Amino acid sequence: MSGGLLVGLLVLPCLALPGLLPAAWAGGAGDGALRMTVTVNGRGHSGLRPPTVRVGAQVVKRYRLVNSGEAHLYGVRVVDPAVPAGAVRCAGRTLAALGELECVARFRAVGGMRRATARVEGDIPSLQRRLAATARTGYVGVAGGLRLTERVTVSAPGRSGRSLGPAWGSATVAYTVTNHGNRPLHAVRIGDPGLGLAPGATDCGAGGGAVAVLAPGASARCTAVVRRPPGTHRSTGVASGSDRITTYGPRGERLPAPVLTARSSAVFTLPSRASTPPSAVPVEPKPKPKPRTAAGSGGAPGRPAGSGGVGVAGAVAVPRGAAGAVGLAGAAGAPAGATGAAGAAGAPAAPAGAAGAAGVAPGVAAEGLPVLPPAPTPAPPTPAASLAVPPGSLAPSALVAEQRSDSTAPPSARRAAVLDNEGFLGRLRRRGREASELGIVVILLLLLIPAAIAAALLGNRRG
């Protein structure tokens, strides 16, 4: 009895073993056999609490794959939409049963929230199954940046009073700082080493010398007024601020917020002195000439020379009848005290027409400044006057030459001079007028000749 019981206990497990083995094999390769965890720059649970990474810094994602099944996984691959294509590298493509495998992705961070669901897959060819696992992962890209521009307005320098040195001018420099990052910036200050301005020396409005908070995409303006000597100067603006955000490095180290800076420059020139308008320049009055009487000027005693006319230096005094011969007779009503030739001491006084001989119009001011009325046309000379030359005076040929050289030339000579200076268009107009006049004459001849012939023929018939 005891022997049969012992045999039964030994046989029953052997009978049940073939039915139990297939179930154990299949259960070792179930859907829960593959698991994946992801760390971003050493921080786990990045799907719930994504770490902050500075834009441009390196992001390191580590994918830890665990196969708790009893079958090998072949063709293992990891897909992460938040990672550039081809950035995930695995140590192998096979994940052994009850084994582990690590895949790594390295790339540069970009700005903003970067969350994604990573997926890992592997195949079991003997069972024709594909196992998969997912994990939520991500990071936050912190983009901090400043942009600075400036504009200079130059004011003209004023007068330096009694100082003999150059007057200094003033320039107003307007700085515009912009936050082109995705996080607010704090305590933004602007300085200018080129103009000797320390950080915070500019006027930024209500915040004094600094911008307390500058929101993403916002701009602020700060101004500074400087005084400099005349010349060319260079402004080199520098803006600095911080977003006060701690980020994580590739190995999981904490990195403090850096100081963000931006630079700009501008060149401006200050003039030496403000220019004075011409109307504001004082004009000193011109002193009047003192009256004096020339011995042979031909004026009345005690009358200033030049009150009746202006003499021609070096001219020969012409007697009373010679003014008409030379063709320099003055206008009617000229003052009787016209001056003769300067320096001709003892020469006889010129008559009333000698003012025209000097070439000056009757309306001459007392100060010697001539008034310019239209010049009167002088009368043509008479033959008797041209021949009345006293002994010791100019010869008739000289008088005629002087007459020819003056503006009182004969009409034929003036007409010849005009024709010589006539242009091409003037000649065409003159020829056209002459042609029109000749045409009228020809037409009259053509009308009169046939009429005369007809009258002659009629007379012959009647006779």
DSSP for 149-198 reads EEEEEEE-----TT--SPPPEEEEEEEEEEE-SSS-EEEEEEEBGGGTBP
Instruction: State which residues form the domain around 436.
Output: 394-456
Contact call for residues 135 and 38 (beta carbons, < 8 A): yes
Q: How far apart are CA 230 and CA 217, in angstroms?
A: 38
Give the per-residue pLDDT at 245.
Answer: 96
Residues 152 and 116 grouped into a single domain: no
Residue 63's SS3 state is strand
Residue 463's SS3 state is coil
DSSP secondary structure, 18-30, as one string:
HHHHHHHHHHTTS
For the four alpha carbons of 78, 79, 82 and 86, in that order, the dihedral sign comes to positive
Residues 97 and 191 grouped into a single domain: no
Residues 43 and 136 grouped into a single domain: yes
Pairing of strands 231-242, 94-95: unpaired
Give the per-residue pLDDT at 314.
Answer: 38
Number of domains into which the chain is organized: 3
Give the per-residue pLDDT at 433.
Answer: 75
pTM above 0.75, yes or no: no
Residues 110 and 221 grouped into a single domain: no
In a domain, 323, yes or no: no
In a domain, 339, yes or no: no
Contact call for residues 279 and 225 (beta carbons, < 8 A): no
Contact call for residues 58 and 109 (beta carbons, < 8 A): yes
In a domain, 179, yes or no: yes
In a domain, 221, yes or no: yes
Contact call for residues 311 and 342 (beta carbons, < 8 A): yes
Give the per-residue pLDDT at 44.
Answer: 93
Q: Which residues of 210-228 are buried (b: 16+ CB within 10 A; e: fewer)?
A: bbeebeeeeebebbbebeb
Q: How far apart are CA 245 and CA 247, in angstroms?
A: 6
Residues with Cβ within 8 Å of 187's Cβ and at least 6 positions away in sequence, in order, are: 210, 211, 212, 241, 242
**Residue 175 belongs to a domain with what CATH number?**
2.60.40.10
Give the per-residue pLDDT at 208.
Answer: 79
Residues 239 and 193 grouped into a single domain: yes
Residues 120 and 187 grouped into a single domain: no
Q: How far apart are CA 297 and CA 315, in angstroms?
A: 12
Give the per-residue pLDDT at 242.
Answer: 96
Q: Which two tokens stand for residue 310?
A: 């202006």
Give the per-residue pLDDT at 4.
Answer: 57
Q: Which two tokens stand for residue 405?
A: 């050289």
In a domain, 388, yes or no: no
Residues 138 and 176 grouped into a single domain: no
- Residue that is last in its domain, among 270, 287, 308: 270
The alpha carbon of residue 443 and the mean position of all alpha carbons in its chain are separated, in whole angstroms, by 72
Contact call for residues 294 and 180 (beta carbons, < 8 A): no
Give the per-residue pLDDT at 171.
Answer: 94
Residues 45 and 78 grouped into a single domain: yes
Residues 151 and 197 grouped into a single domain: yes
Residues 211 and 119 grouped into a single domain: no
Give the per-residue pLDDT at 193.
Answer: 95
pLDDT 10s digits, 196-216: 999 999 999 876 789 999 999
Q: How far apart are CA 284 and CA 289, in angstroms?
A: 15
DSSP structure class, residue 285 = P
In a domain, 432, yes or no: yes
In a domain, 363, yes or no: no
The alpha carbon of residue 36 and the mean position of all alpha carbons in its chain are separated, in whole angstroms, by 62
- Residue that is last in its domain, among 240, 270, 300: 270
In a domain, 371, yes or no: no
Residues 127 and 154 grouped into a single domain: no
- Residue that is last in its domain, among 92, 108, 142: 142
Contact call for residues 122 and 76 (beta carbons, < 8 A): yes
Residues 236 and 190 grouped into a single domain: yes
- Give the pLDDT of the chain (463 residues) as one tens digit per residue: 455 555 555 555 555 544 444 333 444 577 789 999 999 999 999 999 999 999 999 999 999 999 999 999 999 999 999 999 989 999 999 999 999 999 999 999 999 999 999 999 999 999 999 999 999 999 999 999 999 999 999 986 665 544 445 678 899 999 999 999 999 999 999 999 999 999 999 999 876 789 999 999 999 999 999 999 999 999 999 999 999 999 999 999 999 999 999 999 999 999 886 544 444 344 444 455 555 544 444 444 444 444 443 333 333 334 443 333 333 333 333 333 333 333 333 334 444 333 333 343 444 443 444 444 555 555 555 444 444 444 444 444 443 444 444 445 566 666 666 666 666 777 777 777 777 777 787 888 888 888 889 888 888 877 6
Q: How far apart are CA 463 and CA 453, in angstroms?
A: 16
Q: How far apart are CA 406 and CA 286, in angstroms?
A: 34
Give the per-residue pLDDT at 353.
Answer: 37
Contact call for residues 331 and 317 (beta carbons, < 8 A): no
